[in-house]
């Protein structure tokens, strides 16, 4: 049985960055759900299934097996035993991944694969509903958040560094609206699991957050 860490929280809280760093420090597998969706997208494309053919996706995904491994410190994605990591960034794969993510049967298949990974390996996953839905029995649950202002400022800085012309007030409003959407959606809304530890990173450095979460892991 694997040791499981679930990190949930709103958009812009730094979940993926923190999860990857904690995984590296603890020797856990960071489960990149986006990469898993892309793995399924490769499977559909190889079978000539188009983005609109949801019924064919539903039938086809039954025989798909996507898993994540780390080799020499680098994430590798396998589809039915074949390493397909090099294909994940193809434009068609990205487009198909965003389409198939909206198909309930595909989401269910991914849920099954994620839970199996969590049984077999020590994993860390981040998202909106990991501790409440995907891994309700996780050994460690964290709800990572930061104030809307802090998350907006981080995003503003990130986009400015990329040379984009952005407005802080607009970013702040976007984040506020996304929080509302994520918290009130019907399927798997964003909410803190009752047994999750709340970590507010508003006044913490990345390293302080990593140390806080790593200290919660008893393995």
Sheet holding 66-71, edge to edge: 66-71, 74-79, 82-83
Could you say which of 3.30.420.40, 3.40.50.2000, 3.40.80.10, 3.40.50.300 is the CATH number of the domain covering 1-28+123-219?
3.40.50.300
Which of 175-203 are b and which e, b meaning 16 or more Cβ less than 10 Å from the residue's Cβ? beebbeebeeeeebebbbbeebeebebee
**Helices 168-184 and 148-161: angle between axes, nearest 10 degrees:** 120
pLDDT score of 151: 94
The pTM assigned to this predicted structure is 0.81
Domain boundaries, the chain: 1-28+123-219, 33-121
Alpha carbons 194 and 182: distance in angstroms, whole number: 18
Partners of 54 in the β-ladder: none
pLDDT given for residue 187 in this prediction: 72
pLDDT of 216: 97
User: What local confidence, expressed as pLDDT, does residue 49 receive?
Assistant: 95
Task: Please provide the distance, in angstroms rounded to a whole number, between the alpha carbons at the two ends of the chain.
Answer: 13
Q: What is the pLDDT of residue 75?
A: 87
Check if 1-28+123-219 and 33-121 are the same fold: yes
SS3 128: coil
* Tens digit of each residue's pLDDT (9 = 90 or more) over 145-179: 999 999 999 999 988 998 989 999 999 999 999 89
Angle at 34 between CA 156 and CA 77, to 5 degrees: 130
H helical segments located in the chain? 15-26, 33-46, 54-60, 91-100, 104-120, 148-161, 168-184, 206-216
Contact 174, 119 (CB under 8 A): no
Taking 50 as the pLDDT cut, the residues of the chain under it are none
Q: Looking at residue 189, what is its pLDDT?
A: 83
Q: Is 3.40.50.1860 the CATH classification of the domain at 33-121?
A: no
């Amino acid at each position: 049985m694997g040791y499981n860490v679930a990190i949930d929280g709103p958009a812009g809280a730094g979940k993926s960055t923190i999860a990857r760093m904690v995984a590296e420090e603890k020797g856990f597998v960071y489960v990149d759900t986006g990469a898993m969706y892309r793995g399924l997208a490769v499977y559909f494309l190889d079978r000539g299934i188009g983005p609109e053919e949801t019924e064919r996706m539903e039938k086809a995904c039954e025989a798909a097996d996507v898993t994540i491994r780390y080799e020499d410190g680098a994430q590798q994605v396998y589809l039915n035993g074949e390493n397909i990591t090099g294909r994940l960034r193809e434009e068609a794969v990205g487009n198909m991944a965003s389409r198939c993510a909206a198909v309930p049967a595909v989401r269910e298949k991914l849920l099954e694969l994620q839970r199996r990974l969590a049984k077999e390996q020590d994993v860390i996953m981040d998202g909106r509903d990991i501790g409440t839905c995907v891994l309700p029995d996780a050994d460690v649950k964290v709800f990572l958040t930061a104030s809307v202002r802090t998350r907006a400022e981080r995003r503003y800085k990130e986009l400015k560094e990329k040379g984009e012309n952005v407005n802080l007030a607009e970013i702040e409003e976007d984040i506020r609206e996304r929080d509302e959407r994520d918290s009130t959606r019907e399927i798997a809304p964003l909410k803190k699991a009752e047994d999750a530890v709340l970590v507010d990173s508003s006044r913490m450095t990345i390293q302080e957050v990593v140390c806080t979460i790593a200290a919660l892991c008893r393995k």
